[in-house]
Chains A and B, each alone.
Chain A
Amino acid sequence: MPEPVLSIKNIEAGYTPSLPILRGVSLDVFEGEIVTILGPNGAGKSTLIKAIAGLVKISSGTVSLEGRDITGLATHELIRERVAYVPQSENVFARLSVEENLALGTLHNPTQHASQRRRVLDLFPDLEHLGHLAAGKLSGGQRQMVAVGRALMAAPKLLMVDEPSAGLSPKLAQVVFAQLVQVKQTGVTILMVEQNARAALQISDRGYVMAEGQEKVHGAAASLLENPEVGALYLGAKSRMARS
């Protein structure tokens, strides 16, 4: 077994000490994978990502990055470890221009600004001529590109994205997923949270299903798509019919 890029062992975490939200979650992400975390609203998916990012206090368990323990790392140190995180909402600086948003992605690798910017604009050509606009003036899909683009400016080895397709039309969601596949092809490992389970699993290598702060099922994406229990609970009967 190779060393996972990200390894989470038995994490307990919550917003207040009296109310743990995550109750013993474990998860591994290997190099080059897209791993998707699924589960109903309130399952604790976002909380898990926030715990990795140091935004939620971890009371027990460990987070390690390529074998190094980074549990409880300060949020602003994360990017130095080359872990980028795109939150679910408010993930762009709305009052800053698109170019300024991108520039904030290379605070710790400013010498790479020009080359990373080129790569991001090649991936998201739509952003090319929006550079001077305030990010808040963009459409939902464009904002999502700015958010992911800024994260990629840091040349991360691990990209964590929370619900990249939330609020987008099914067609735009497909575009976003296709772009994530392209990101993966440039050598970035991806940990993603999604509600849009079927579409997400189709581009994923593996998936984890969470409910009530615990990890319920995990496995290869294809096997989760076939798993009738997972299907009934999280994929919806209609989408399974559409598949057959």
Chain B
Amino acid sequence: MIQFVADGIVNAALIALGAIGLSMTYNILRFANFAQGEILTIGAYFTLLVLGVLGFGIGAMGPVAFGWPLLASIVVAVGTTSIIVLIVDWLLFRQLRDKNASRITFIMAAFGVSLMGRNLITLVAGGEPKYFDFYIPKTFELLPGMKVRPDDLAIVAIAVIAFIILFAFMNRTSMGRQMRAVAENPTLARINGIDVRAVIRWTWIIGASLATIAGALLAHNTQLRPEMGFDMLLPMFAALILGGANNLYGTILGAIVVGLTEALAVYVGLSGYRAAVTFLVMIAFLMVRPQGILGEKE
């Protein structure tokens, strides 16, 4: 019975890593980035590319079926994915900001980027599923009735470390403070001398970095396909809305609820309906608490 908790937490870690970027673009750039899924996908394909160049396979760390070659590849992919995302912002979203485009224009533009991104990935990398490396998953019994894979523990640990670094950055550095200031009141931020353009660049870099980690780990756990990230879009949005859209901690809590709900749906045999179940839970929750778990009423 509690098996679903283990599966759900791994789900949650990946959803949360992806959804942080969604939350940040929503709060700082003020639009729902429907191309967030493709950032995960591109990050994962870059990881695959670097792994191929390195040629060491994915390595291993004791019982964990991946090691430094995968981690090093993710680090390089974080850099390249961030650069791609900054270029797309410079070519597209910056122009829309300069023209004071409406929110709906931003969202439609993001839809376009999402679609084109997926097509481009299919064109370049092919539509068939790919795998980082061949490995035989091991499992052990963590608690009675709860089997986990060492890889899953490593994934959750990586996510936790990433969140600790993220919150240290947001709460302890000047740029983190500036980002929170712009999220709350962009005009007052500019009056205080905050360069909103620099804040926007950091927003994309952090979102893309965490999304790359999510995409690579998800690809390691499952398989790499051009639609991989897109399929994560709905759970990521659900986590964002459920958590309270203006709170990063909320996004992580939202991801835990969504991850557990999906795992429970699979566990009770509703695998094919897990998106629907998640949305039912989300809607039911929002009827009771419309601002989300940690959200503040506007």
Contact = CB atoms under 8 A, between A and B. Distances in A.
Nearest to A83: B191
Contact of B177 (A91, A96, A150): A96
B190 interface: yes
A100 B179 CA distance: 12
A75 B187 CA distance: 9
B184 A80 contact: no
Nearest to B171: A100
B181 A96 contact: yes
Interface in A78-96: 78-80, 85, 87, 90-96
A91 B181 CA distance: 12
B184 A104 contact: no
A93 B193 contact: no
A206 B194 CA distance: 32
A85 B191 CA distance: 7
A213 interface: no
Contacts of A105: 192
Contacts of A55: 187, 191
A16 to B, nearest CB: 12
Query: Size class of B's contact patch?
Result: 10 to 19
Interface residues of A, number: 27
B interface, over-half SS = helix
Interface in B169-225: 174, 177-178, 180-181, 184-185, 187-196
B207 to A, nearest CB: 20
A96 B191 contact: no
B180 A95 contact: yes
A154 B188 contact: no
A87 B193 contact: no
A102 to B, nearest CB: 11
A107 B180 contact: no
A103 B296 CA distance: 24
Interface string B133-161: 00000000000000000000000000000
B177 A100 contact: yes
A93 B187 contact: no
Given A53-B191, A107-B178, A76 B185 contact: no
Contacts of A80: 193
A87 B188 contact: yes
A104 B177 contact: yes
Nearest to A153: B192
A91 B184 contact: no
Given A93-B181, A95-B180, A96-B181, A104 B187 contact: no
A216 interface: no
Contacts of B192: 79, 104-105, 107, 150, 154
Contacts of A74: 190
B188 A93 contact: yes
Contacts of A40: none
Interface string B249-274: 00000000000000000000000000
Given A96-B177, A100-B177, A107 B184 contact: no
Interface string B82-121: 0000000000000000000000000000000000000000
Contact of B193 (A90, A95, A96, A108): A108
B249 to A, nearest CB: 12
B191 A79 contact: yes
A110 interface: yes
Given A91-B188, A93-B188, A76 B194 contact: yes
A96 B194 contact: no
B166 to A, nearest CB: 17
B196 A76 contact: yes
Nearest to B195: A76
B184 A94 contact: yes
Interface of A: 53, 55, 74-80, 85, 87, 90-96, 100, 103-105, 107-108, 110, 150, 154
Q: What 4 pairs across the A-B complex have the smallest Cβ distances?
A: A79-B193, A75-B190, A76-B190, A107-B193
10 contacts: A79-B192, A79-B193, A85-B191, A87-B188, A90-B187, A91-B188, A96-B181, A100-B180, A103-B174, A104-B177
Given A92-B188, A93-B180, A104-B189, 17 more contacts: A76-B190, A76-B195, A79-B193, A87-B188, A90-B187, A93-B184, A94-B184, A95-B180, A95-B184, A96-B181, A103-B174, A103-B177, A104-B177, A104-B181, A104-B194, A110-B174, A154-B193
